[in-house]
Amino acid sequence: MNKQRTLDFFSKKRSTPSIDDSVTDDSSETKTNLMSILKKPKLDVASKPTVTSNLPMKTYDIKINFQDLAEICEVLENTPSRLAKLDKLEEFFDHIIEKDTSQLDVVTNFLLNQLGPEYIQDLELGFGEHLIIKILQETFGYKIASLKMKLKEVGDLGQLTYKLRGEMKTVFAFKSKNDDIKISIDEAWKALNEIAKTNTHKEKIGKIRPLLSRMSPVETKFFIRFLEGKLRIGSSNQTIGVSMSRCMMKYDQVRGRSMELDAIEADRILRKVYSQVPNYSIIIDKFLEIGLKELEEKLTLQPGIPLKPMLAKPCKSALDALAEFNDVKTGENDKFICEYKYDGERIQFHQLNDGTIKIFSRNSEDMTAKYPELVDFSKFYKNKDEVQSLIIDGEIVAYDVVEDKILPFQILTTRKRKNVEIEDIKVKVCIYVFDILSLNGKSLLEETLEERRRIYMNVFESKKGELQFANNLVSDDEAEISAFLDQSVQDKCEGLMVKALTGRKSIYQPASRSKFWMKLKKDYLQGVGDSLDLIIMGAYYGKGKRTGFYGGFLLGSYNPDNDEIETCCKIGTGFSDEHLELLHKTMKEYESEISPSNYMYDSQTKPDIWFSQPKLLLEVLCADLSLSPVYKSAIDLTGNNRGISLRFPRMLRIRDDKDYTMATSSEQVLEMYQSQSNLQ
């Protein structure tokens, strides 16, 4: 397969110490013996995690070299096989467990390229290409023009730093009193957290320069990549989780716990727990206390910690929706419900035990400050005394209280995101509640949707234009469902959500895209029944009235297995002048002359300018999908060395409420291609 990748300047293979060698302890004791003498760290703050804007920082008695972490990243980057990656990661986690179990969370977060979970504020490093080049200029003494030229040759800021750091010792014989002092993982981690809290570029550079001078070339490579937000080790959250679950199981069984678990069951438990409590610091601390088997029952969703929402699969017609709930073999028909699919912002409302209200977006961003008028959430309760805590799934829409109607999503986007004062609000909003996930500390995920609906309707008092329940229909009549779909479009909604109402199919499955939830939309264009959320990879310069702005964009789907973004179309229609101005203003600081190494593209589609980070998504409709020799989406899945492209794509809206990992996956693109009526 002819994938165009960024040129690797260092094609000569470098020797990397094996993980097996690094695992060997000086005392030559076996892993079993080492596990029996594990140490816990001394904490300078309470070890019990709290939901605050800052992560508690721990101090450790045992020092593990940051070099170990950098070297496993190097090994993973050079290991193409996913199964081999799993084995390497498992060996590395074993190594960390033998040294100090309490550092597992730091190591895991680093491998996930995050300082902490998404819902914790002020953990964004925010390093673009221009700032990193400035850091390299001040650290290594090169002119910016020279660094940009070298970057073109190398194709990656981390690899460029590796080269410069090597020259720093060999060519210029740089020496300092700290040059040979090894940096530990926790020292590097504390530095990264301090850098995140530093406001000015000058202060950030001042903290980074001495660190780079003390690091080996491979350490600088992955430290810079972490700052940039692109570790490029080809290991997804799923791969890291599988390896972690194996190690947890082995650790438990050495201690006589979770003896009945096998690798498959261990992976299932960790996935389930992480989908409800997406914070490895909390999970690992609780695991060390009670073991993996007990986690499933004793660590469930908590108010204040947003979970990834359940998502729906696309469906083209009421007939297709009915087929999903009819068992042809048994003749049984599952009960289901149709609800309006509102054109707004998917949110989770959390009330904590102390009465605090938190509002989170679908990608776990804290949106509470954007909606100050909703903080007094108790006004919607039928009985305030009966509600201590809860988690609600719903949609916020812009609402015209005078005309008593829903307004388009574009109106909602005009609201300020920060520093919103209630008296300045011009766009009113209404909350449409369609699910409840927790009430008074009890998880409701395993309850049927029918029961969850009964519960939230008993909790809330519907108020027109402020809080309402999703308009719904319970019916298995195709004509009735089609008419309800037409009515939803007339009422300014996107279509319908069709959900299992009773039985095991109706439980809430966080972070999953299930066929037990389906979205049914009216087609704007013939051929494809659903829109796609695609990543902006690069841009083409505008001409005519678009001169000075971007005139079109190269878009891609997300391949989570390899953490790669694969091209699927160029797009230039559906944009207003305001859209283009906003996109130019937002994306200009991420412009780059080279493509990130995880962008899969063909030279025939190369844009005028690349974006160094996948910062924004566009919601797109198209006439149909077709196989293409130049586009790369799902090329590993089609089986004929051709990818899938969109024909006649049109932009619907900018999706700044999603990050790139929530984009339409390449596998979903393939499913949409295969489901087209002309291929049936």
User: Is the backbone of residue 356 left (phi > 0), alpha (psi -120 to 50) or beta?
Assistant: beta
| CA gap 357, 345 in Å, rounded | 17
The one-letter amino acid code at 479 reads A
Lookup result for tokens 């007094």: 376
How would DSSP label each residue in 264-301? HHHHHHHHHHHHHS--HHHHHHHHHHH-HHHHHHH---
Question: Are the C-beta atoms of 194 and 98 separated by less than 8 Å?
Answer: no
| CA gap 209, 139 in Å, rounded | 6
The one-letter amino acid code at 489 reads V
Q: Which of 32, 457, 43 is nearest to 252 (CA)?
A: 32
| CA gap 405, 512 in Å, rounded | 32
Question: Are the C-beta atoms of 646 and 568 separated by less than 8 Å?
Answer: yes
Burial 618-647 (b: 16+ CB within 10 A, else e): bbbbbebbeebeebbbbbbebeeebbbbbe
Q: How far is CA 319 from CA 223, 314, 324, in A?
A: 53, 13, 9
Residues forming a β-bridge with 391: 350, 438
Lookup result for tokens 């850091």: 135
454 three-state secondary structure = helix
Lookup result for tokens 């049927």: 448
Q: Which helix (H) or strand (E) holds 178?
A: none
Choice among 99, 134, 272, 341 that is catalytic: 341
Lookup result for tokens 């051929």: 527
Question: Exposed, middle or buried by CB within 10 Å (0-12, 13-18, 19+), for 547?
Answer: exposed
Burial 254-291 (b: 16+ CB within 10 A, else e): eeebbeebeeebbbebbbbbbbbbbbbbbbbbbbbeeb
Hey, what are 501's tokens? 């109402």
Residue 146, Cβ neighbours under 10 Å: how many? 11
| CA gap 538, 549 in Å, rounded | 13
Told to judge if 341 belongs to the known catalytic residues of this protein, a careful annotator would answer: yes
Question: Are the C-beta atoms of 70 and 222 separated by less than 8 Å?
Answer: yes
639 three-state secondary structure = coil
Residues 6+ apart with CB under 8 A from 275: 307, 308, 509, 510, 511, 512
Give, to the nearest 10 degrees, the angle between helix 129-140 and helix 157-170: 0
Q: Which residues are catalytic?
A: 341
